[in-house]
Structure 1
Amino acid sequence: MAGFGDPHLETVDGAGLTLGIVGARWHSDLVDHMVDRAQAAAKACGVESVTTVRVAGSVELPVVAQALAKKCDAVVTLGVVIRGETAHFDYVCDAVTAGLTRVALDEQTPVAHGVLTVESLGQARDRAGLEDSIEDKGWQSTVAVLDAVLAIREVNKD
Structure 2
Amino acid sequence: MATQLKNLSDFSHTTVPDASPYKFAIAVAEWNAEITGSLYNGALEKLLAYGAKEDNILSVAVPGSFELSGAAEILLNKHPELDAVICLGCVIQGETRHFDFICDAVANGVTQVGIKHAKPVIFGVLTTDDQQQAIDRAGGKHGNKGDEAAITAIKMAHMAATL
Q: What is the TM-score of this pair, normalised by structure 2?
A: 0.86
1:114 aligns with 2:119: no
Choose which of 62, 69, 90 in structure 2 pairs with 1:80: 90
* Partner of residue 140 from structure 1, selected from 125, 139, 148: 148
Secondary structure of 1:53's partner? strand
Q: Secondary structure at the match of 1:86?
A: coil
1:1-158 equivalences under 5 Å are: 3=3, 8=11, 9=14, 11-48=16-53, 49-70=56-77, 71=79, 72-129=82-139, 132-155=140-163
Distance of 1:76 and 1:90 partners within structure 2? 21
Q: Percent identity?
A: 33
3-state SS of paired residue (2:31) = coil
Gaps of 5+ in 2: none
Q: Partners in 2 of 1:18 and 1:81 — Cα distance?
A: 27
Give yes or no for contact 1:100–1:113 (8 Å, CA) kept in 2: yes
Could you tell me how far apart the structure 2 residues matched to 1:96 and 1:124 are? 17
Matches of 1:10 and 1:121, distance apart in 2: 32
Given the two structures, how large is their TM-score scaled by the length of structure 1?
A: 0.89
Alignment size in residue pairs: 152
CA distance in 1 between partners of 2:154 and 2:161 (Å): 11
Paired residue type of 2:156 = A
The one-letter amino acid paired with 2:65 is S
Alpha-carbon RMSD: 1.9
Specify which structure has the bigger relative contact order, considering alpha-carbon pairs within 8 angstroms and separated by 6 or more residues.
2
Q: CA deviation at 1:145?
A: 1.4
C-alpha deviation, 1:34, in angstroms: 1.0
Shift in Å, 1:14: 0.8
Could you list the runs of 4 or more consecutive aligned residues of structure 1 that deviate by over 3 angstroms after TM superposition? Answer: none
Taking the aligned partners of 1:29 and 1:125, their CA distance within structure 2 comes to 9
Q: CA deviation at 1:69?
A: 2.6
> Unaligned regions of 5+ residues in structure 1, if any?
none
Contact 1:11 1:41 in 2 (8 A): no
Deviation, structure 1 residue 10: 7.0
